[in-house]
Structure 1
Amino acid sequence: MADSQWKLWADENVVYAKFPEGMPAEESEFIRINERFEELAEKERVDAHISIIQMESSLPREVIEKAAEAAKAGKPHGITRWALVSNGIKGMAFASSVKKIDGIDAKSFKDVEEAEEWATN
């Protein structure tokens, strides 16, 4: 199986995730993403997360559910702000799912700069 092109990294107080078009929705891929997320959350001094979704197609329900699971996993590490950068309904669906978690603030944005401004202040 070819490695997908997703990336996770930390910068200042933010853990970033970048997901390209064609992001697989296989459980094994989610496990690898979550492992990397946990590694960054434990190691870095972070309190926010920004997902950059570069997909034109709609997000599968599983992806939105996994985002909410990741938000729950990030909360014990102090990650309480979640931003999604995408166009249109994907961002709203993501934010709506994550906002349901007590103590988490989630918002969707059209560009990375706006999300960074919100996440770092």
Structure 2
Amino acid sequence: MTADTIARRDTASAAWFDGLRAGSLLIRRCDACGHHCRPDAKACTACESRSLRWVEALGTARVVAAVSTPGRTGSTTVQALVELTEGPWLLAPVVGAASAPRPRTALLLTILRPDQGEPIPAFTVLA
């Protein structure tokens, strides 16, 4: 996450940010078929039902792909496309990593709480 990135809530994202503020990563679960979907899903990606509810994710994931970029102050920023244990994919920072982790690397949720804006999910590499 760069200093320029500030997450802001709206009506659709309020529950997501409330969950992060409380220390939980919330995703959507379909009442019709039980499939887990991304937090921004409006309908189930498996059966197209609009009956979705918020559920807490385990907070574990694996790297699908990752990239590292040098920061302005000599630090490295690592972003990864991660697959949550429940199945949905998210793009999130990987904190504490000196370089991009390899695909399938195990990750654990951490929540970043910037001075401005809302908290955001991030991950750390499991040792």
TM-score bracket for the superposition, by shorter chain length: under 0.3
Bigger helix share: 1
Bigger strand share: 2
Q: TM-score, normalised by structure 1?
A: 0.22
Q: TM-score, normalised by structure 2?
A: 0.22
Which has the higher Rg, Structure 1 or Structure 2?
2
